[in-house]
Amino acid sequence: MSIETNKIIELSECNLETKTLLTGSLLKWMDIIACLAAEKCASVPCVTASVDDLQIDKAILLGHVVNLKARVNRIFNTSMEIEVLVISEDFYECSKICQAFFTFVTQPKPNGEKNIVPPKEPKTEEEKSLFALANERKKMRLDYRSSLKRLKDNKEELQSKFVADETSDKNSHVTSDNTYSECVEIVLPQHANHHQTTFGGQLMAWMEQTCTISARRLCHGLPRLLTVDEVFFRAPSKVGDRIVIKSRVNHIFDRCMEVGARVEAYAVGGETRHIQSAFFTFIAPDEKGNPKVLPNMKPMNKDDFYRMKRAEARVKLRSERRMILGNDGLNAVSLNEKNQKILCYKNILELMALYNKDTFKFKLEMAPVRLSQLKIDDSLCIRLETEVDFSAADVYRALSDHTKRKHWDMFITEVEILKEIKKSEDHVLRYKMSNLKPGCNTKGDDIIVLASCRQEKDYAIIAYRSVKLDEFPPVPEYHRAINRCSGFIIEGAKRNEYKTSCKVTYINQLTEHIYEYVKTDLKGATETLSQRAAALVQVIKTDVAGK
């Protein structure tokens, strides 16, 4: 379910000094198109609940065309994830500006009952991939919020660590109070949606404007917005409400700054209520467009200190997420309680990205396996496809029982389950692999992988990726190999009263050591891949017979 629209950037929508699109206008447009996609899918009124991972890669210039696309990735009963992609077009080329994920919720019925959206089953391979990844992002989102909540719970503990610097001159450095900004708006009919509540995008635009003022007061220049994070819509506001937006710079990190915004609303004579919060990251470009080094900031009281410490923790969380998502898989990342959700997401994301590539070239056929390959930068990726006369559930059950792999994979001599991640289908495994050159003075390989297993009716994913566990370092008897990205995608085929079958696809982005196990197959000299497929079929048969 998708929506697309295009806009030409006019002067009235631009910053008059830089001739670039006001970021607040872009946020409004993104929220509107996301709302249109949500309501088209749900067929009931919907409102914005939150926005995640909004990163603006570059500014949009006056006269450019902006293309906005929104699509529903998955429905979760009363909520849904909407992906919004923004592309800028000049006369010669297109550039990606940003991609963000909105969460929309349905408004309750007049009697107060929940408006539950009927689930829509994915049909195409792309839709199935988006469907699975949306669920992983939801888990990651909830885990991230839990981490942030723990920061709030430690407020008194953090404040108690503040020590005032009596010797410092308040005028010799920047303080948070120097950047404080407050703006007041009244919600008019043009600011409201068709439910007579304030557009989420309009609130984000007002927040961006207020935060920009705070950023300008710090850098004494023209700041540029980089990211918007933790946009949570706590409560609605209506036509006639007064909106108060408060912002200040929370912390400075060399060349960027985090600005926090708090939005309150009140009706005439009514109580003030907290309706929204968010954090904006800005840089201050120099004449060449490079980020300038920003002045230091010092806390003057316990509240300043608390805001700075929370900002440091948020930046650390964001940096870890970016590091993991940007990791190419050649170096294993250490798994811990804080990053396991994002690692599981990365595991499945990378496998699905390879699976959806349509540039694989057929290499050879080794019945019952069809082998294709694809060169990606400096690595070779192989894709094996076969069809088996079992249901997707039967195949998934056999493949997700990791201890059975040594029964059908001739190169695996032992499988250890090192760790089970709580409340999930994820495990950390250690594979011990046979020595390819017995009799020579060489070691066998061992690999520690994160195995992420997901099943959605007749569609399943099993993804593998190397990780590190501090309690299981490399041992002298084995060479610690790397599994860059590999896994299985299982798709149920059409059923009839006579036959049940499914398509099984195996993908592996080969590293140097893993390549040694398949190189003779790729040259057509051996058929170990087809032998392993045949052995897997036997394992599934035994498993089905024993049910």
Integer Cα distance of 481 and 411 in angstroms: 14
Question: What pLDDT does residue 430 have?
Answer: 95
Beta strands in 150-272 (DSSP E): 181-186, 224-233, 242-253, 256-266
Query: Do 261 and 337 reside in the same domain of the chain?
Result: no
HSE, CB side, 13 Å, CA atoms: give it for residue 131: 19
Query: Within a domain: residue 88?
Result: yes
Q: How many domains does the chain have?
A: 3
Query: Tokens for 438?
Result: 């017995």
Determine the pLDDT at residue 504: 93
Residue 355 is predicted with a pLDDT of 93
Q: Does some domain include residue 426?
A: yes
**Domain-embedded: residue 316:** yes
Torsions phi, psi of 370, nearest 5?
-110, 125
Please tell me the predicted confidence (pLDDT) of residue 53. Answer: 75
C-alpha distances out from residue 362 to 140, 359, 368, 371, 517, Å: 36, 10, 14, 6, 20
Q: State mean pLDDT over 324-345.
A: 85
**pLDDT value, residue 436:** 66
104 shares its domain with 198:
no
User: Rounded CA gap, 388 and 396, in Å?
Assistant: 12
pLDDT of residue 184: 95
187 has a pLDDT exceeding 70: yes
Give 9-63 as a DSSP string.
Answer: --GGGEETTTTEE-HHHHHHHHHHHHHHHHHHHHSS-EEEEEEEEEEE-S--BTT
Supply the pTM of this predicted model.
0.84
Both 337 and 321 in one domain: the answer is no
Kindly indicate the confidence band of residue 507, based on its pLDDT and cuts at 50, 70 and 90.
Answer: very high
Q: What is the pLDDT of residue 153?
A: 62
Give residue 318's pLDDT: 82
- What percent of the chain has a predicted confidence (pLDDT) above 90? 48
Q: Which of 52-66, 212-226, 482-496 has the lowest mean pLDDT?
A: 482-496
CA distances from 180 to 141, 183, 308, 313, 545 (A): 29, 10, 15, 21, 70
Q: What is the pLDDT of residue 418?
A: 94
Residue 453 has a pLDDT of 94
Closest C-alpha among 378, 68, 299, 309 to residue 201? 68
Per-residue confidence (pLDDT) for residue 64, from 0 to 100: 94
- β-strand pairing of 256-266 with 426-433: unpaired
In-domain check, residue 96: yes
pLDDT value of position 217: 93
Mean pLDDT value across residues 76-83: 93
Report d(CA 307, CA 230) in Å as an integer: 15
Segment 523-543 shows an average pLDDT of 87
Note whether residue 154 is domain-resident. no
Residue 405 CA to residue 332 CA, distance in Å, equals 22
Q: How confident is the model over 106-143, as pLDDT tens digits?
A: 988 888 888 899 888 888 888 888 898 998 888 888 88
Q: Are residues 387 and 250 in the same domain?
A: no
Is 75's pLDDT higher than 90?
yes
Confidence category of residue 454, pLDDT binned at 50, 70, 90: very high
Which of these three, 120, 140, 172, is where a domain ends? 120
Query: What is the pLDDT of the chain when averaged over all its residues?
Result: 88
In a domain, 129, yes or no: no
pLDDT tens per residue across span 123-133:
888 888 889 89
DSSP-based three-state secondary structure for 429: strand
Task: Give the position of tokens 């993991």.
Answer: 324
Q: What is the pLDDT of residues 15-38, one digit of tens each?
A: 888 899 999 999 999 999 999 999
Q: What percent of the chain has pLDDT over 70?
A: 94
Sign of CA dihedral 121, 125, 128, 134: negative
Do 493 and 525 sit in the same domain of this protein?
yes
Shared-domain flag, residues 489 and 435? yes
Looking at the fold, whether 178 and 273 belong to one and the same domain comes out as yes
User: What would the two tokens of residue 43 be?
Assistant: 């067929």
Q: How far is CA 170 from the centre of its chain?
A: 41
365 and 502 co-located in one domain: yes
Rounded-to-integer distance, Cα 279 and Cα 312, Å? 13
| Pair 385, 504 in one domain | yes
Instruction: For residue 453, count other CB atoms closer than 10 A to its CB.
Output: 21
SS3 118: coil
Cβ distance 77 to 97 under 8 Å?
A: no
Cα separation, 262 vs 214, in Å, equals 13
Long-range contacts: 187-190, Cβ < 8 Å, 24+?
187/237, 187/238, 187/239, 187/240, 187/241, 187/242, 187/243, 188/239, 189/239
Instruction: Identify the domain containing residue 70 by its residue range.
Output: 1-120
pLDDT of the residue at 278: 92
What's the pLDDT score for residue 546?
A: 73
- Stated as kind and residue range, the H or E segment containing 127 is helix 125-153
Are 348 and 411 within one domain? yes
Cis-peptide into 189, omega within 30 deg: no
- Same domain? For 366 and 308 the reply is no
**For residue 520, which phi and psi values (nearest 5 degrees)?**
-70, -30
Contact in structure between 543 and 400 (CB atoms under 8 Å) = no
Indicate the length of the chain as a whole number: 547
Regarding whether 280 and 411 lie in a shared domain, the answer is: no
Instruction: Provide the β-strand partners of residue 4.
Output: 69
- Give 440's pLDDT tier (boundaries 50, 70, 90): low
Domain boundary among 295, 326, 357: 326
Domain of 541: which CATH number?
Answer: 3.30.530.20
Report pLDDT for 423: 67
Q: Residue 499 domain-assigned?
A: yes
Q: Determine the residue type at 494.
A: K
The helices-and-strands tally (H runs, E runs) of the chain is 10, 23
pLDDT at 41 over 80: yes
Please tell me the predicted confidence (pLDDT) of residue 547.
64
- On the question of pLDDT at 497 being above 70, the answer is no
Q: For residue 308, tell me if it sits in a domain.
A: yes
Instruction: Say how far residue 295 (Cα) sits from the centre of its chain.
Output: 32
Last residue of a domain, one of 310, 326, 342: 326
CB contact at 8 A, 543 and 393 = no
Phi, psi of 177 (to 5 degrees): -65, -30
pLDDT(152) > 90? no
Cis-peptide into 118, omega within 30 deg: no
**Residue 188, Cβ density class (10 Å: 0-12 exposed, 13-18 middle, ≥19 buried):** exposed
What percent helix, strand, coil does the chain show, rounded to 5? 30, 35, 30
Q: What is the CATH number of the domain that holds 204?
A: 3.10.129.10
Which amino acid, 60? I
Angle, vertex CA 69, rays to CA 63 and CA 74, nearest 5: 160
